[in-house]
Amino acid sequence: MERVYIGLGSNLATPVAQLDAALQALDRLPRSQRVATSSFYTSEPLGPADQPRYVNAVTALDTHLEPLQLLDALQAIEQAQGRERKAERWGPRTLDLDILLFGNRLIDEARLQVPHYHMQARPFVLYPLAEIAPERLCLADGRKLIDLLAACAPEGLERLERSTTA
């Protein structure tokens, strides 16, 4: 069993409800168990500025699935929640699920790169990750989460106040 961290994001079709539904879908994954989920945060979109703010979170999952099996499952959840893959990168979407870290693995395949590329520059990934990850988390490529946080200001990132989380 390996600990996997998954980034969640949505800025269409009631984003908080999209993330809640995605967390429920993750709870139904075979040979996997969700063990922690960060608070939800709002952030400015990457890419085109003429789109709504995103709602983001990070969840930790213990799984026996292999990386590409998990990726396929995540993409099926995205599709079930109305995700349309378009040529436009960083456009609006109902749901985005990204494998950020997969145990201590370095993965560089056509469909999957782990650690997730550019996560070091994304406060909407790093701050939720830091909320649920061990204090001394070290990525498989040797970078330390604490160092990444120090180099990435939380500009535009706001924690959502919620009465309960899924």
Closest among 143, 123, 122, 146 to 133, alpha carbons compared? 146
Closest among 44, 69, 47, 57 to 100, alpha carbons compared? 57
**Residue 26 domain-assigned?**
yes
**Residue 105 domain-assigned?**
yes
**Residue 106 domain-assigned?**
yes
Q: Read off the pLDDT of residues 115-126 as tens digits, 9 standing for 90 and up.
A: 998 899 999 999
**Residue 166 domain-assigned?**
no
Q: Read off the pLDDT of residues 67-90 as tens digits, 9 standing for 90 and up.
A: 999 999 999 999 999 876 665 666
- What does pTM read for this prediction? 0.93
CB neighbours (10 Å) of residue 58? 28
Catalytic annotation, residues: 83, 93, 96, 98
**Residue 152 domain-assigned?**
yes
**Residue 164 domain-assigned?**
no
pLDDT for the residue 161 = 87
pLDDT for the residue 166 = 47
Tokens of 26: 């993750």
- The tally of domains found in the chain comes to 1
Give the total residue count for the chain: 166
Q: Read off the pLDDT of residues 16-51 as tens digits, 9 standing for 90 and up.
A: 999 999 999 999 999 999 999 999 999 998 877 788
- The CATH number covering residue 115 comes to 3.30.70.560
